[in-house]
Amino acid sequence: MRNALPPLAVLLAAAIALPWAAEALGQPATIGLATRILCLGIAAASLNLILGHGGMVSFGHALYYGLGAYTVGILWEHFRLGEPIFGVIPGSNELLVTLPIAMVVAGVAAAVIGALSLRTSGVQFIMITLAFAQMGFFLFVGLKAYGGDDGMLVRRRNIVPGLDLRDQNQLYWLCLGFLVAWLLLQWRIVESRFGRVLEGIRQNERRMAAIGIATYRYKLVAFIIAGMGCGLAGALTANYLRFVSPDLMAWQKSGEIMVMVILGGVGTLLGPVVGAAALVGMEYVLGGITENWQFFLGPILLAVVLWAPGGIMGLLGRGARRG
Amino acid sequence: MALWGCLAGGRGVVEALLSVRGLRKRFGGLAATDDVTLDVRPGELHALIGPNGAGKTTLIGQLTGEITPDAGHVVFCGEDITRLSVAARVKRGLARSFQIVQLLDDDTALANVALAVQAQAGHSFRFWRAAGRDAGLLEPARALLEQVGLARHDTRVADLSHGERKLLELAMALAARPQLLLLDEPMAGLGAAESLAMTETLRALKGGLSILLIEHDMEAVFALADRITVLVYGRAIATGTAEEIRANPAVQDAYLAEELAP
């Protein structure tokens, strides 16, 4: 980790400087693209905690993304109308209020869903997490008060003391700050005693029970942390898009987040972010050439799975060792 | 001394550390465990032998909690543990090693044992401090590796030999600081020299804790065991000292005749 610090510092400096570079090069649209990558990077990193480190293949992770986004959207709607939710909870447009609430909402959902689905494993676990996410999807499709399947607008971004999020550069830096903070937290977790247990469960759950670890509760706590991280990503996304819709929690989105983790490198710190950048970048470049860009994405994914099982981070590592 | 931990627990003096009473398990038409009654006394090394298919693995599964019996009881330190989970039994001092090694292949031998030490050091809901350089975990882990005679601490499990993995299995079980150690064929697949070394390691452990040893290596069993139970077709047909077992005609019929033929 120590010799990884200088490259990380360079990477961070480049990320901070990106808006200025984009403006200097006359490419301000890049900043929006980069903000999307940061948000999806947090979502993918959070999935990586349970998928890459805990061996839990959740196929419903976008549910927490959508819940985080809808929390911001619904709080905004009630703030705008001046009507408390259920006549009790007032709406809000303050990021320092909406963001923690989004994380708690996602965390509570993850606690309930995790408590039920972690009683299974393997294919059953994949299917049950998918089923729960689909339930959430159809719930919000049916919620006409919040736009149903059309979604709803968040006309103005949340406010933060000292920042103006209408400025896309400031929103970008805010998202970058949250991504760095989340990665730092997750790095500590992975290295901690809790992370060792999680890694042990991924490698051999039977062994973990045999040394006296009640694995279920560790998996559940990891599942909740991952859900909260994805809720954070969703809340930031709602602010970036100024729009929320059930598509944010559709199974395609869960698949996309999983692809980012696999593409970037399962179980690595930066892999999910690199994967998010690669997928969004490919969508942008290939999407500019043809409408059917996903047709070309397929073979690329296939190549990664077949010849680079460690993902892009695995390839970079191999290159660094050779060089 | 860990051995007497359960005696101090206020449950009074128990004659048997582990007592198995009328244990039964059927898989379809097969009685894998058929009314097994068995005692492991404090401090003894009790061997469980039997031909292939006698139900040894099913029995150890019920003792560790991986398999739920259809009937009967498992009592450990005076407490009925028949319905307890695997992890809960380990916490009470009942640890095991696996016949087919169950280790964390991507990690070093030291990291494996350190994790087993960590499992005994209270809960692991600690999210910030790095565990990889925690001397409180690494020092006991090194001591355990030295105790079982595994020298390559920093080699990944995937790169260890079969014999070394068997030693690591033993170290992992010892890390739980058990009162009773269930050893599932610790000699399986070992060479002659390695078997001898393992026998000596087990002899050194004897007396400090109770051991239930399941083993095919008859030489080792007769060299080590205080008492032996013979399992045939899911039934415990005899229990006694090495001499008694050797002299038992039923045992000779069922098992020893072929194994101990000169």
Categorize the per-residue pLDDT at A305 as very low, low, confident or very high, splitting at 50, 70 and 90.
confident
Does A210 contact B96 at a Cβ distance shorter than 8 Å? yes
pLDDT of residue A1: 52
Same domain for B167 and B68, yes or no, is no
**Prediction pTM value:** 0.93
Do the beta carbons of residue A306 and residue A75 sit within 8 Å? no
Q: What is the pLDDT of residues B15-49, one digit of tens each?
A: 799 999 999 999 998 999 999 999 999 999 999 99
Q: Do B124 and A193 touch (CB under 8 A)?
A: yes
Percent of chain A with pLDDT over 70: 98
**Do residue A192 and residue B115 have CB atoms under 8 angstroms apart?**
no
ipTM score of complex? 0.91
Residues B182 and B255 in one domain: yes
Q: Which helix (H) or strand (E) holds B117?
A: helix B109-120
Q: What does the pLDDT read at residue B5?
A: 52
In tens, the pLDDT along A28-62 reads 899 999 999 999 999 999 999 999 999 999 999 99
Q: Are residues B157 and B212 in the same domain?
A: no
Domain termination residue (choose one: B144, B177, B210): B177
Chain A residues whose CB is inside 8 A of the B124 CB are 193-194, 196-197, 213, 218
Per-residue confidence (pLDDT) for residue B259, from 0 to 100: 56
Identify residue A245 by its one-letter amino acid code: S
Q: Please name the member of A192, A209, A211 whose beta carbon is closest to the beta carbon of B115.
A: A211
Residue contact B102–A210, C-beta within 8 A: yes
| Angstroms from B22 CA to nearest CA on chain A | 25
**Tens of pLDDT along B134-145?**
999 999 999 999
Question: Chain B contact for A206, CB < 8 A?
Answer: yes
CA distance B220 to B166: 15
Residue-wise pLDDT for A95-135, tens only, equals 999 999 999 999 999 999 999 999 999 999 999 999 999 99
Could you give the number of structural domains in chain B?
A: 2
Residues B135, B206: one domain?
no
A318 touches chain B (CB under 8 A): no
Stated length of chain B: 262
- Give the nearest chain A residue to B132 (CA atoms): A191
Q: Are residues B25 and B67 in the same domain?
A: yes
- Residue ending a domain, choose from B177, B212, B235: B177
pLDDT digits (tens, 9 = 90+) for A127-161: 999 999 999 999 999 999 999 999 999 999 999 99
Task: Report the C-alpha gap between A214 and A227 in whole angstroms.
Answer: 21
Of the candidates B177, B205, B234, which is a domain's last residue?
A: B177
- Give the pLDDT score at B262: 45
Please report, to the nearest 10 degrees, the dihedral formed by the alpha carbons of residues A140, A146, A149, A152 taken in order: -130
Tell me if B119 is assigned to some domain: yes
- Rounded to a whole number of angstroms, the distance from the CA of B243 to the nearest CA of chain A is 34
pLDDT in tens, A58-79: 999 999 999 999 999 999 999 9
Interatomic CA distance for residues B22 and B66, integer angstroms: 18
When CB atoms are compared, the residue of A193, A203, A211 closest to B90 is A211
The full set of domain ranges for chain A reads 2-251
Q: What string of pLDDT tens digits covers the 262 residues of chain B?
A: 344 456 544 455 567 999 999 999 999 989 999 999 999 999 999 999 988 888 999 999 999 999 999 999 999 999 999 999 999 999 999 999 999 999 999 999 999 999 999 999 999 999 999 999 999 999 999 999 999 999 999 999 999 999 999 999 999 999 999 999 999 999 999 999 999 999 999 999 998 899 999 998 888 999 999 999 999 999 999 999 999 998 998 888 876 555 554 4
**Residues B172 and B188 grouped into a single domain:** no
**pLDDT of B181:** 97
CB contact under 8 A, A191 and B130: yes
Among A191, A206, A212, the residue with its CB nearest the CB of B131 is A191
Minimum-distance CB partner of A192 among B90, B115, B131 = B131
CA distances from B119 to A205, A210, A223, B4, B90 (A): 13, 10, 20, 22, 10
B256 lies in the same domain as B183: yes
- B132 in a structural domain: yes
pLDDT class of A309 with cuts at 50, 70, 90: confident
Does pLDDT of A13 surpass 50?
A: yes
- B123 and B228 in a single domain? The answer is no
> Are residues B50 and B112 both part of a single domain?
no
pLDDT of residue B253: 82
DSSP B181: E
Q: Which residue of B has its CA nearest to A211?
A: B116
Say which residues have a Cβ less than 8 Å from residue A242's Cβ, sequence separation at least 6. A153, A154, A155, A156, A157
pLDDT per position as a tens digit, A169-216: 999 999 999 999 999 999 999 999 999 999 999 999 999 999 999 999
Q: Do B102 and A206 touch (CB under 8 A)?
A: yes
**Chain A residue closest to B112 (CA)?**
A200
Domain of B242: which CATH number? 3.40.50.300
Tell whether B187 and B89 lie within a shared domain. yes
Same domain, B81 and B184: yes
Grade residue A319 by pLDDT with cuts at 50, 70 and 90: confident
- How many Å apart are CA A62 and CA A129, to the nearest integer? 10
For residue B8, tell me if it sits in a domain: no
Residue A320 has pLDDT above 80, yes or no: no
Residue B239 has a pLDDT of 95
Residues B171 and B182 in one domain: no
- Which of B86, B107, B126 is closest, CB to CB, to A194? B126
Range(s) of the domain holding residue B164: 106-177
Please give, rounded to a whole number of angstroms, the shortest distance from the CA of B159 to a CA of chain A: 16
For B91, nearest residue in chain A (alpha carbons): A212
Domain membership of residue B18 (yes or no) is: yes
pLDDT for res A287: 87
A145 touches chain B (CB under 8 A): no
The answer to whether residue B6 is domain-embedded is: no
